Copies of this chain bind each other. A is one copy, B any other.
């Protein structure tokens, strides 16, 4: 699907780097007044503001972070933006701008890169993000996307990983483990397809899982909910590498311990059903699987009434003194030390 053998395709060497950048960025809108100059100079320029700036960056590499065998380019572009915005929201900040750098081998025609950028543009439109710069080059192998996201927040609103105190409640948004199971389903279907290219799989019963893998969303809505509810988390992180890994980050940065209750971990019915089908232990998957892009945060107990009953939030535990360590309390009331099982890139 990606090889440059379509008669209507345009080789990249024909259009050149500057032509490519113009072609790819011409339809992007500017949403924010503080974006003075976007693409087209040595650097982008942002107006001064009375807020603080947050900056985060992520690198996505073909063969490591994604497989174009089941990840359509448009979805990849969308997801590449989302994973960066998620980090901005995890600071309780508003994402405003991104830069996008790509390296592509010559097996990609212009039309493939346009498809990638259509996903980037969809994310920018959906989340009101200004594309303000980037770099475009060739690669010796495969596709690579490097995105930097810039956001803003009042200094007093910014939430670090380091503010949790003993007895704070540990809360998670949405539900966990679906993106990982979506990947398992897609991997399986890819293998089936390789054996029988005419197979027409019915993936309806996995639709939520696949959507979570191919078109994840970042929790911009939660930042607004915090503002409306007048809740400021004491610490926060986004769940990209798995619940256990993120809990340990909060514990380490905040110098606290934690009790996590297995029975409280929010799982979608499709997650539970698919874990049974694939003979996987759903709690293990929730603890160790990445790419959920939900927010994990702690709040002071006095704020509990503000979030109680809100369908976006699930209280899954509470923080303890540091010397108590970080533990999972199982349904059988066993206490098991939490270890980092998150996704590792090496």
Instruction: Please report A residues at the B interface, Cβ cutoff 8 Å.
Output: 12-13, 15-17, 20, 36-37, 40-59, 61-65, 87-88, 90-91, 93, 97, 99, 101-103, 106, 132-142, 144, 146, 148-151, 155, 158, 160-162, 236-238, 253, 344-346
Q: What is the distance, in angstroms, from A307's C-beta to the closest C-beta of chain B?
A: 21
Q: Which residue of B lies closest to A142 (CB)?
A: B140
8 Å CB contact of A150 from B55, B61, B158: B55
Do A144 and B141 have beta carbons less than 8 Å apart? Answer: no
8 Å CB contact of A56 from B133, B155, B161: B133
8 Å CB contact of A57 from B13, B101, B345: B101
Q: What is the distance, in angstroms, from A346's C-beta to the closest C-beta of chain B?
A: 5
Given A61-B140, A140-B63, A345-B138, decide whether A44 and B49 contact each other with a Cβ distance below 8 A.
no
Given A51-B48, A103-B61, A146-B146, decide whether A90 and B140 contact each other with a Cβ distance below 8 A.
no
Given A52-B36, A57-B148, A346-B13, decide whether A137 and B65 contact each other with a Cβ distance below 8 A.
yes
Do A55 and B99 have beta carbons less than 8 Å apart? Answer: yes
| A236 to B132 alpha-carbon distance, docked (Å) | 19
Enumerate 9 A-B pairs (CB-CB under 8 Å) in ascending A order: A42-B236, A45-B91, A57-B101, A57-B134, A58-B135, A59-B103, A59-B137, A64-B137, A106-B346
Q: Which residue of B lies closest to A135 (CB)?
A: B59
8 Å CB contact of A238 from B40, B42, B56: B42
Q: What is the distance, in angstroms, from A226's C-beta to the closest C-beta of chain B?
A: 15
Do A151 and B43 have beta carbons less than 8 Å apart? Answer: yes
Q: Which residue of B lies closest to A149 (CB)?
A: B43
| A155 to B20 alpha-carbon distance, docked (Å) | 30
Q: Specify which chain B residues have a CB less than 8 angstroms from the CB of A345 in the assembled complex.
A: 17, 136-138
Do B103 and A144 have beta carbons less than 8 Å apart? Answer: yes
Q: Specify which chain B residues have a CB less than 8 angstroms from the CB of A137 in the assembled complex.
A: 59, 61, 64-65, 345-346
Do A57 and B144 have beta carbons less than 8 Å apart? Answer: no
Q: Which residue of B lies closest to A249 (CB)?
A: B18
Q: Specify which chain B residues have a CB less than 8 angstroms from the CB of A48 in the assembled complex.
A: 48-53, 155
| A345 to B36 alpha-carbon distance, docked (Å) | 28
Do B346 and A43 have beta carbons less than 8 Å apart? Answer: no
